[in-house]
Structure 1
Amino acid sequence: MQHHYKSTAPATVAIVQELYQAKAELRAKSAALGALFGTITCNYAGGVKLSADKALDVHWRRPDEWGYRELRTKPVIPKGTEKKERADIRVEHERLLTLWRENYPPRIDVHSYWDRLGVNTGNLLLCGGVTFEHQGTAYFLLGFSIDEADHLAKVAAGKPTSGWIEGAVEILPSEYAAAVEAFKGAQS
């Protein structure tokens, strides 16, 4: 069962906005990282989209199922490579590693944002949850219910709780769906 909520509490809206700003920054930094290694379509910081050419395997792992390659920690030098060429490969690999380290964007810990919102992240892992902000209102789609009175009673009794989001009110699925469409329209 899905539960739909919204909140206009400034602190709640600010946390959701901060999460989306961090995601946008990660996408921008991922694209910049990809551009350094020859791609303009990268938005996954775990790798960059490069050719599947085996010549790149010296420095890069094989592409994953989405076509992204990850830089190896050490080069894989083919057998029979001359000593001078091996040294050149190691120097180039160090250059690539330095470039990677200097430009690799930090990971976003989404659970820290949900913790700040007051949601039990165990429930979130088991049942799921989505959030977004549109026109000063934070919207939530949770796979579990939250109830302020129940939350406060359980906290007072020292029992586990699903959590509570400041200012949250339950809304109809149709209101949530309309907000999703408006949000997507604003993103285009």
Structure 2
Amino acid sequence: MSRFFYKSEAPAAVSIVVEFYTAKDELKAAMVKLGELIGGAIAPMHDITSHFAGGVKLSSSRELDVHWCRPDDYGFRKLRTAAKPPKGTPKEVRVAIRNEHERLLNLWRENCPQRLCSHHYWERLGINTGNLMLSGGIKFELNGWAYFNLGFPIDEIAHLEKEASGKPSYGWIDGAVEILPSEYEAARALKLKAKETENA
């Protein structure tokens, strides 16, 4: 599949990309807090349109099965929608189990961060998210420039013409200029190096 690379220093475009990564950092921080309350690391998950909190890294002990689904291949469990006491559990113990499960559900509901919709930011940039879902896209900011790796070409003139005719276009990013893959990859490498230094 062909890839198309762009950069923009337009303040609006750069600001939107920075906002997305700021929101992503806030989501990660909220997941750390949730994990501390629950008692295990939260799996950061994402799908085609959003980022969200996944399962919890907990022991594989069968004792936890009453409240938690069995661990997945990575050791993460999901909280059951309802407690599952073993057969033959005395009535008074079942009541205690249900109360504990309600506490866990409330803890999760009150502290689980909302999904972060990545498509919201692409839409603000002016990109047609239908094409994004089909072909993908990556964005990041470095030294006051926003960089983009898209699976489809964007063209300001074509966008304006289709917009005027009422036809859908791939979209357009304010101030975007097409760049060589090598320039994009060099910027990406610098961004990754900066992140490694920041996390060291």
Q: Same fold (TM over 0.5)?
A: yes
The AA in structure 1 aligned to 2:68 is W
CA contact (8 A) 1:22 1:108 kept: yes
Distance 2:59 2:129 in 1: 39
1:81 & 1:160 partners in 2: Cα distance? 60
Shift of 1:95: 1.1
TM-score by length of 2: 0.90
Superposed CA deviations along residues 46-93 of structure 1, whole A, max 9, x for unmatched, are 211111111111101112232211111110111100111101101111
Deviation at 1:42, TM superposition (A): 4.5
- Partner of residue 49, structure 2: none
Match of 1:94? 102
Kindly report which structure 2 residues correspond to 1:18-97, keeping only aligned pairs within 5 A, or say none. Answer: 18-40=19-41, 42-44=43-45, 45-97=53-105
**Cα distance in 2, alignment partners of residues 90 and 65 from structure 1:** 28
Query: Structure 1 length normalisation: TM-score?
Result: 0.96
Match status 1:137 vs 2:145: yes
Structure 1, unaligned stretches of length 5 or more? none
Contact 1:8 1:138 in 2 (8 A): yes
2:13 and 2:173 in contact (8 A); partners too = yes
Whether contact under 8 Å (1:31, 1:42) holds in the other structure is no
Amino acid of the residue matched to residue 55 of structure 1?
A: E
| Map of 1:124 onto structure 2 | 132
TM-fit CA distance, 1:39: 2.1
| Contact in 2 for aligned 1:28/1:43 (Cα 8 Å) | no
1:148 aligns with 2:156: yes
Residues 14-71 of structure 1 show CA distances to partners (whole Å, capped at 9, x for unaligned) of 1101110111111111111112122246445121111111111110111223221111
Distance in 1 separating the partners of 2:75 and 2:194: 30
Q: Which has the higher strand share?
A: 2
- How many residues are aligned here? 188
54-63 or 142-151, larger mean C-alpha shift: 54-63
1:169 aligns with 2:177: yes
Whether the 8 Å contact between 2:31 and 2:42 is mirrored in structure 1 is no
Query: 5+ residue gaps in structure 2?
Result: 46-52
Runs of 4+ in 1 over 6 A off after TM superposition: none
Output aligned runs, 1:108-119, within 5 Å: 108-119=116-127
- Does the CA contact (< 8 Å) of 1:31 and 1:43 recur in 2? no
